[in-house]
């Protein structure tokens, strides 16, 4: 489970970098494309899409951290039960 958590957290880092790249592309669009439609597109993208992508990134990060915590708890329980003479 620890490995999966680490993979998720690594993917979240990559995803966050992609969001930054997307945001930079939208900025570039706003420099190259002018007019009312361009302004509406860039504004809508920045006000709706980027925050939603960032929120998704936070959720995935929380999930990865949750899995790390659960993995640690399971390891503790495993050590406790393996050290007991049950049966």
Can you spell out the DSSP letters for the chain? -HHHHHHHHHHHHHHHHHHHHHHHHHHHHHHH--SHHHHHHHHHIIIIIHHHHHHHHHHHHHHHHHHHHHHHHHHHHHHHHHHS---
Is 2-83 CATH 3.30.70.1140? no
What pLDDT is attached to residue 29?
Answer: 92
Mean of pLDDT over the chain: 92
Asked if 66 contacts 73 with a C-beta cutoff of 8 angstroms, the reply is no
pLDDT tens-digit profile of 19-56? 999 999 999 998 999 999 999 999 999 999 999 999 99
Q: Output the pTM of the full model.
A: 0.79
Range 12-19 average pLDDT: 96
Is 10's pLDDT higher than 70?
yes
Range 10-18 average pLDDT: 96
Helix (H/G/I), strand (E/B), else coil: 1: coil
């Amino acid at each position: 489970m620890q490995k999966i958590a680490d993979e998720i957290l690594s993917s979240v880092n990559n995803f966050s970098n992609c969001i930054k790249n997307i945001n930079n592309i939208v900025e570039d669009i706003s420099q190259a494309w002018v007019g009312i439609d361009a302004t509406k597109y860039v504004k809508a993208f920045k006000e709706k899409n980027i925050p939603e992508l960032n929120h998704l990134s936070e959720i995935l990060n929380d999930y990865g951290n949750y899995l790390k915590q659960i993995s640690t708890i399971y390891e503790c329980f495993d050590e406790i039960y393996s050290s007991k003479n049950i049966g």
